[in-house]
Structures are given as structure tokens and as C-alpha cells.
Amino acid sequence: MRAATYPAYSTDLATLQVSDVPDPKLFPGSVLIEVRAAGVNPVDWKAMTGGLDPLIDAIFPVIPGWDVAGVVTAVGTDTPEFAVGDEVIAYARKDVLGAGTFAEQVAVSAASVARKPASLTWEQAAGLPLAGGTALRSLDAVGVDDGTTVLIHAAAGGVGSFGVQIAVARGARVIGTASERNHDYLRSLGAEPVAYGDGLASRVRELAPEGVDAVVDFVGGQLDTTLAVLRPGGQHASIADGAVVEHGGRAIWVRPDGRETARLVELADAGELTVEVGGTYGLDQVAEAFAASQEGHQRGKLVIVP
């Protein structure tokens, strides 16, 4: 099959290439997915540069990609949950960097797989599992529910926009930080926007004088503001700043879990969660997709379509 591969850790995007690689083997309890679309996440190019080397082994050449939407073409032994022809999505992270989703096919543990939302296109569905799951796990960690006031740092970003929608669907009041050019977008999602920069804590306090019940940080470097606006007894979490743990917070790293992904599917099919696609790329354009992701100026999910 064809796949995007890189031969070794490198900061040079030119090392990415499209190669013919062996078809995936199908372990018991797994499904083989014909990839219709694969979401791009910052962790993909960070892994390419060796940023995850302290955490995970790699088998080169590595096929990047952890998000997938596609059709089941085969099932492994003892996999009654799925059948050939099922349309599915998954956060397909494995214990070793190697056989990722930027390929024509990928084998994924059935425990990581959920049905594709009928309400979303292939491209939209491919952008949902990792970022949506990260937002969901973060909001669960800080107890966001009906009546909660939550501050979301980087609310217009890939994870943040999911966080806003999920929190609003739960009946929470959402205050979201973003650049002013994204304020109308946040309002359209149901959040009250506040601008980044000096005086952020004061601006949040103007909206919530008694403080907020919860804070989720999707960008890092926001701990001082978080602690300044969090009410006594409030909860906070971050996906980008492990220092929160020293201040009673929770450091989040989402796990592949088909049951959690299925919760996102339910929200999507209920009309409470959608995915904005910012650009689509072919397998031979993965380097371009990574470059766009690194720039960080594009709103919406970037997607690889084999």
C-alpha cells in the first residue's frame, strides 16, 4: 500500500515521502480500515522531530497520523463489535510510533474504534477523535456540567473549539480566550470571548466577579491567570503545562478509547458538535499540511485524504 513515511527524526519536512510499504497485519481484536481521511494534529509533526522520543519508541520508517475515518475491510479474530463495510472513526495511537493513519490502510484495535457520525463528512469525522477526545477528557476532569462557569484558554483552537461546544451542550457558561479576529467565531459557538494579553485576569473577573468554577488550558503558559480567576474549590487542567499538578490541577493526555469517541459521535449526531475543516491535502502533500499546522494561523482541522 501507499503511505506517507519519514525515515528518521528530522526537522526537515522534505524527509517526508510517499512510499510503498507492506499491508498492515491484522491482530486478533483489531479491524483493518480503508482510510478515507486522516486528521492532522500538532503531535504528528512534533513526533517527527523527536519530540516524543522520551515517551514512545519508534520503528522507522514511521507513518505518522493518529486520527482516522474510514471503512472496515477486514476484522481480526474475535472482533464481534464490527463487520466489513462499517463506517468508523478512531483515535488510533499505538504503543510504538510506526504504522500511523497517513496511509491507504491502517490496522486499529477495536477498543479504540467507534461508528462514524452520520452527520459529518469523512473529512470532518477524521478531525474529531484526538482533539475532541482531549477536550472531552479535560472537561470531565474539571467537572464541567450544567450551571458551571468555565474558562477555556485557546478556545478558538482545534481542541478549544470542541471544548466550547461540549461545555455549551452540557449547559455550562463558557468564557473563552482568543485573538479578537476569532471573537465572532466563539460567539457563534456559544462562548463569551475575551482577548489574550496583559490584563486577561481582570477581563475575566469583569465577566465573572466571583471567579470561575473551572479552567481548562489548551495552550500552556496560562497558570498565573488560571489561579487568579479560579474560585476557591474550583478545578483546573492543562494539556500543555505539567506545572498545574503542583497547584492542584490535572495534566491531561487523552487515551485511545472507542467508548469516549462514541460520546463525541452522539454529540455530533445530536447537532451539538461539528468540525470545521481548514484544509485538505493528499498523501504527497503531508509536508505542506505539517507546515500549515506549524504556522498555527489556520482555523479548522487539517485533513489528509489518501
Q: What is the CATH number of the domain that holds 137?
A: 3.40.50.720
173, three cell numbers: 457558561
Q: In this structure, is residue 256 part of a structural domain? A: no
Whether 263 is in a domain gets the answer: no
Find, among 83, 104, 107, the residue nearest to 28 by Cα.
107
**For 10, phi and psi rounded to 5 degrees?**
-165, 145
φ, ψ at 101 (rounded to 5°):
-100, -5
Whether pTM exceeds 0.85: yes
Residue 266 lies in a domain: no
Residues 6 and 121 in one domain: yes
Verify that 124 and 135 share a domain, yes or no. Answer: no
Say what the pLDDT of residue 200 is. 98
- The pLDDT value given to residue 299: 83
**24 and 49 assigned to the same domain:** yes
Whether 111 is in a domain gets the answer yes
Give the pLDDT score at 104: 98
> Is 264 domain-assigned?
no
Q: Determine the pLDDT at residue 273.
A: 97
Structural domains in the chain (count) = 2
Same structural domain, 100 and 206: no
Query: Do both 58 and 122 map to the same domain?
Result: yes
Contacts of 26 by beta carbon, 8 Å cutoff, 6+ apart: 32, 74, 75, 76, 107
**Which residues of the chain are modeled with pLDDT < 70?**
none
Range of the domain at 147: 131-251
